[in-house]
Amino acid sequence: MNAPQKPASRAPLLSLDAAMAELLARVHALESVETVATFDADGRVLAEDLVSALQVPPNDNSSMDGYALRASDVTAPGVVLRVSQRIAAGHAGHALEAGTCARIFTGAPMPDGADAVVMQEDTIEVGGDIHGVHIQAVPDAGQWVRRAGEDVTRGAVVLSRGHRLSPASLGLAASLGQARLSVMARPRVALFSTGDELVMPGDVPPESMKPGAIYNSNRFFLRALLRRMGCEVSDLGIVPDQRDATLAALKTAADHHDLILTSGGVSVGEEDHIKPSVQQLGSLDLWQIGMKPGKPFAYGTVRRDAGECHFIGLPGNPVSSFVTFLLLVRPFLLRLQGVPIDSARALPVATRLPAHFSVERADRRREFLRVRRNAAGGLDLFPNQSSGVLTSAVWGDGLVDNPAGTTIAHGDLVSYLSFAELLA
């Protein structure tokens, strides 16, 4: 018979906001920088301000296929103007003869003297002796003209150090003539999973799995998430639930990495070796957060010859591991790469949406429910919110951030965070 257990102590857990602030306060941007082709820079973080050496667009140019003219030459609809030149994109025209117009195409530079474009749909070509055009609408000066420098002025800081490059910003950098960009080094992350029950897919077929064995799923999404965050991943595989093996894995990993990321083994059971091992090799600075799923999250450092290596221990339950990665590891990695985020901006801006479900029992922890937007503009709840049910994270397209101690009635406005933004 087991001796009667004393009720577990219920000291208040660290709040997610406090944990985030602590975590971000401990991480500083890596110092190494590298130069990469702009083509390969999606998702990387700029290491220096990008200052434009030219204006974009370089000249006033037409935003329509049509006719460039002086607006003052057309005082009433029906004026006929002679077409005195033709200017296609990539070719320069010459000064516009008085009382004439220029055939012009989208992107072509405006000829000197012209101040407006009439789109070809508002004109009728006139044949005969002169090649002319009948202007059907009175133009306003400046119409259908894109001004030189309206996108970028010369000398402007177009993208700042710390900007995380997106496909659109690669295009903008290219528009300034940048074929290569100076970016922050990729964080080197050592990843390992703990758990004697874990088996790698491919090693044992489903029909031969021993009782108690499960496939290692965390390793797959964590590796993919780290790669998306621009990390270089050393996957150290599965570490058995033994103190010596855990110590050895942590020591090896600390040497050549910026971060050690583990999953599992960070709770309070006798088979959980991560916490005491990190304490032995360095320090454990954060442990257990008032969030659901994700309570067993841990942060610390592991000493090495020179300095120390960051350590983050994620919970073993797959949904807990996934959610804590999105909410805590992602901002940590952004900051490690020099993105200037603080704890107030670590999460995307939540959208307020109506719950098309109810939560009758309030939880003492801040809860992140797996939900999905529906066609009626509301949110549906995945029926099984267990932290072991990874289907919820695939079925769902985001999380409801529900404050501690809060019930939800059907129709209540709740805070929704989309996976799309949390994964970006």
Query: Would you say 103 or 275 has its CB closer to Mg ion?
Result: 275
Name every residue whose Cβ is closer than 8 Å to that of residue 26 and which is 6 or more positions away in sequence.
285, 299, 310
Query: Would you say 164 or 219 has its CB closer to ligand AMP?
Result: 219
Distance in Å, CB of 14 to ligand AMP, minimum: 18
Distance in Å, CB of 313 to ligand AMP, minimum: 9
Scanning 7-15, 22-30, 259-267, 365-373 for contacts with Mg ion by CB under 5 A, the matching segment is: 259-267
Name every residue whose Cβ is closer than 8 Å to that of residue 67 and which is 6 or more positions away in sequence.
81, 83, 101, 102, 103, 104, 117, 118, 120, 123, 133, 135
Interface size with Mg ion, residues (CB under 5 A): 4
Scanning 185-193, 263-271, 286-294, 380-388 for contacts with Mg ion by CB under 5 A, the matching segment is: 263-271
Query: Would you say 317 or 337 has its CB closer to Mg ion?
Result: 317
Q: Which residue is nearest to ligand AMP (CB)?
A: 316
Binding Mg ion (rule: CB under 5 A), the pick from 43, 109, 230, 265 is 265
Confirm if 138 and 75 have CB atoms less than 8 A apart. yes
Distance in Å, CB of 198 to Mg ion, minimum: 8
Distance in Å, CB of 198 to ligand AMP, minimum: 5
Which listed option, Mg ion, ligand AMP, none, makes contact with residue 193 (CB within 5 to 8 Å by class)? ligand AMP
Distance in Å, CB of 236 to ligand AMP, minimum: 13
Binding Mg ion (rule: CB under 5 A), the pick from 66, 93, 187, 195 is 195
Scanning 88-96, 192-200, 203-211, 283-291 for contacts with Mg ion by CB under 5 A, the matching segment is: 192-200
Confirm if 356 and 416 have CB atoms less than 8 A apart. no
Query: Would you say 187 or 316 has its CB closer to Mg ion?
Result: 316
Scanning 81-89, 101-109, 152-160, 308-316 for contacts with Mg ion by CB under 5 A, the matching segment is: 308-316
Which listed option, ligand AMP, Mg ion, none, makes contact with residue 218 (CB within 5 to 8 Å by class)? ligand AMP
Stretch 352-411 residues interacting with Mg ion (CB under 5 A): none
Binding site for ligand AMP (CB under 6 A): 193, 195, 197-198, 214, 216-219, 263-265, 267, 315-318
Distance in Å, CB of 200 to ligand AMP, minimum: 10
Which listed option, ligand AMP, Mg ion, none, makes contact with residue 318 (CB within 5 to 8 Å by class)? ligand AMP
Scanning 112-120, 265-273, 275-283, 381-389 for contacts with Mg ion by CB under 5 A, the matching segment is: 265-273
Which listed option, Mg ion, ligand AMP, none, makes contact with residue 313 (CB within 5 to 8 Å by class)? none
Scanning 25-33, 98-106, 187-195, 288-296 for contacts with Mg ion by CB under 5 A, the matching segment is: 187-195
Query: Would you say 60 or 272 has its CB closer to Mg ion?
Result: 272
H, E, C per residue of the chain: CCCCCCCCCCCCCECHHHHHHHHHHCCCCCCCEEEEEHHHCCCCEECCCEECCCCECCCCEECCCEEEECHHHCCCCCEEEEEEEEECCCCCCCCCCCCEEEEECCCCECCCCCCEEEEHHHEEEECCCCCEEEECCCCCCCCCEECCCCCECCCCEEECCCCECCHHHHHHHHHCCCCEEEEECCCEEEEEEECCCEECCCCCCHHHCCCCCEECCHHHHHHHHHHHCCCEEEEEEEECCCHHHHHHHHHHHHHCCCEEEEECCCCCCCCCCHHHHHHHHEEEEEECECEECCCCCEEEEEECCCCEEEEEEECCCHHHHHHHHHHHHHHHHHHHCCCCCCHHHCCCCCEEEEECCCECCCCCCEEEEEEEECCCCCEEECCCCCCCCCHHHHHCCEEEEECCCCCECCCCEEEEEEHHHHCC
Query: Would you say 128 or 212 has its CB closer to ligand AMP?
Result: 212
Distance in Å, CB of 266 to ligand AMP, minimum: 6
Binding Mg ion (rule: CB under 5 A), the pick from 93, 132, 264, 398 is 264
Distance in Å, CB of 222 to ligand AMP, minimum: 8
Long-range contacts of 75-78 (CB under 8 A, 24+ apart): 75/138, 76/138, 77/135, 77/136, 77/137, 77/138, 78/134, 78/135, 78/136
Distance in Å, CB of 269 to Mg ion, minimum: 7
Distance in Å, CB of 214 to Mg ion, minimum: 11
Query: Would you say 197 or 235 has its CB closer to Mg ion?
Result: 197
Take residue 234 and report the two structure tokens written for it: 């050393």
d(CA 69, CA 117): 6
Q: Residues interacting with Mg ion, by CB under 5 A?
A: 195, 264-265, 316
